[in-house]
Chains A and B, each alone.
Chain A
Amino acid sequence: MRELTGAAAAAGPALAALDRRARWRPAELVFWAAALSPFVLFPAYLQLASQIAIAALFALSLDLILGYAGVVSLGHAAFFGIGAYCAGLLSKYAWGEPVSGLLVSALLAGLAGYAVSFVIAGFRHLALIMITLGLGLLLQEAANSASWLTGGADGLQGIDIRPVLGLFKFDLYGRTAYGYALAVLFLLFLLARRVIQSPFGLSLRGIRENAVRMPAIGAPTRRRIRKIFTMAAAMAGAAGALLAQTTSTVSLEALSFQRSADVLVILILGGAGRLYGGIVGALIYMVARDRFSGLNPQYWYFWIGLLLVLVVVLLPNGILGGLRRLSAWRLRPAS
């Protein structure tokens, strides 16, 4: 005990350094301020901006499991789709108030995630990829066959969303859509940031770094994975609900393998395990898709493929990882 009090004083600088790591950095504040710029600078691209915010939220939810806990999924669109259909069906058959619709959709996707988490928590690597892929396909076909409910291949029509908070009516230009999507992204980002910086977040990184060692320090690894998987599913559901509410339509594409693969690409492009990776990745991916598909609507995936290969080969930690290495290199004193 005597030793411990002695150490407490000496621990000060180390704890302060740890504390500093958890603080907001100026670059982060600039980043979020810049997220408001489309309202002024690119009013013609607000629809695209809201698509980016939705993709970013979806990628952030994948980052929670893949980037932090090392749980890879190729079926993450299942939860996005559940959120999207839930929000769409709610507005069609029950009520069109968006915020409560979003919450209910996230909750439902979270429940689905909780159920699935019991299946996936014991697996890693290839087995995990196959299981999540299988679950995604399964759900998509189920939605396809339940066309009386989902509209099947024609998509879910007749969604009517009331103004956000009773004030902001969804407009043609996407002003409300972007404001709403950005607000939800920001709030859920704050939540994710908190979770990641907590002891629970630390234990997730422990699982990612060495899942075998975790039980040897007494960690209930599976329970932790179940918890973060549930949270990530709920967040993916919120992203899906945003898409349904801002576009007033849901198609089977919301549940597709393509969407699961796209979100993985987005996260890897931006850099997994660093919170902003999914957002940066979504920005680059969606803008690139917008530009490239303008050049040649048929072959734009060629360029995405090229971008992905280049990033993975040259920047193993994604674009953000590359930027960080660059700034570390620039800050290093010349020797």
Chain B
Amino acid sequence: MSELTSAAGEAAGAASGNRPPAPAGVPAGRAAALTAQGLRKHFGSLQVARDISFHLPVGARFALIGPNGAGKTTLINLLTGMLRPESGRIFLGRDDVTSVEPAVRVKRGLVRTFQINALFPDLAPLEAVALAVCERKGSAGAFWRPLPAYRDELEEAYALLQSVHLAEDCLRPTRELAYGQQRLLEMALALATRPRVLLLDEPAAGVPRDESSALFAAIAALPDDITVLFIEHDMSLVFRFASRIIVMVAGGILMEGSPAEIAGDAQVRELYLGKGGHV
């Protein structure tokens, strides 16, 4: 574990050209894969991020829960750079990535999936995942050799699709795939970028219960140098697969703790679980 951590730190340091000290507020001993410090954002008069701070240790499996409109997806948008915070800082490993372009954050290993399928309807899954692999390897700007000449990239893409059981349909246009298959393709696309930190926005939304549990088992089984934060409404999945839970309410973090702490907290019960929808 410590080896992986230092390797990740080195890679991050090399990318930025220096090695700043670990961001403040991170407990010593456990290296942070992703750190947020005092993120704030509002849309008009609506505060969607109130002074959000947390850190994800390398290899963690965090769940982000909270009622609809609590600002969970907004937080992912802030972390990935699709929204700019008004104040606050974001660290990937030891690097301040607050003002880094979204595509560059992806290259450095901060990757997300989308709550609503955001795929390439006319591309075949094999093409889409191969594209993501080519982007990672820096060959997606090459225009002289045809795609079939990139065998390594295609084989890697195929293996990824196989791992999410999409190999059979890898040449059909994405728009023809079943909804659940498209969710799996979302995962495959994210994994093709070789993430260090993976932010999953309701990865199993709209997927039948038995399949969603399989999907989460796959997420839990990801290599432990990948740090995962997932948004999920199904509390049974959250308690099964999260090592820690962050509870958001009205744009702020209400509390963070182990599943047992969260389940036992009266305030959380009242504010969120007590509404009875999910447990």
Contact = CB atoms under 8 A, between A and B. Distances in A.
B142 A15 contact: no
Interface in A98-127: none
Given A7-B158, A210-B119, A218-B106, A200 B148 contact: no
Interface stretch (B34-42, B54-62, B130-138, B233-241): B130-138
B103 A202 contact: no
Contacts, number: 146
Contact count band on A: 35 or more
Nearest to B175: A209
Contacts of A210: 118-121
Interface string B80-122: 1010000000000000000001111011000110100011111
Interface string A1-40: 0011011101100110111001000000000000000000
A245 interface: no
Interface stretch (A142-150, A169-177, A191-199): A191-199
B112 A216 contact: yes
Contact of B119 (A208, A213, A218): A213
B57 to A, nearest CB: 24
Nearest to A214: B103
Interface string A191-227: 0001101111111011011101111111111011001
B146 interface: yes
A4 B120 CA distance: 25
A213 B136 CA distance: 15
Given A7-B155, A15-B151, A202-B131, A224 B141 contact: yes
A209 B121 contact: yes
Contacts of A199: 130-131, 134, 139-143, 147, 150, 153
B148 A194 contact: no
B123 interface: yes
Given A216-B111, A217-B132, A218-B132, A200 B103 contact: no
Nearest to B168: A14
A294 B131 CA distance: 50
Interface of A: 3-4, 6-8, 10-11, 14-15, 17-19, 22, 194-195, 197-203, 205-206, 208-210, 212-221, 223-224, 227
Interface of B: 80, 82, 101-104, 106-107, 111-112, 114, 118-123, 126-128, 130-132, 134-136, 139-148, 150-151, 153-156, 158-159, 162-163, 167, 170-171, 189, 192-193
Given A7-B159, A8-B155, A217-B131, 17 more contacts: A7-B158, A8-B159, A11-B159, A15-B151, A194-B144, A195-B143, A198-B145, A199-B131, A199-B142, A202-B130, A202-B147, A203-B135, A205-B120, A215-B106, A216-B102, A218-B104, A220-B141
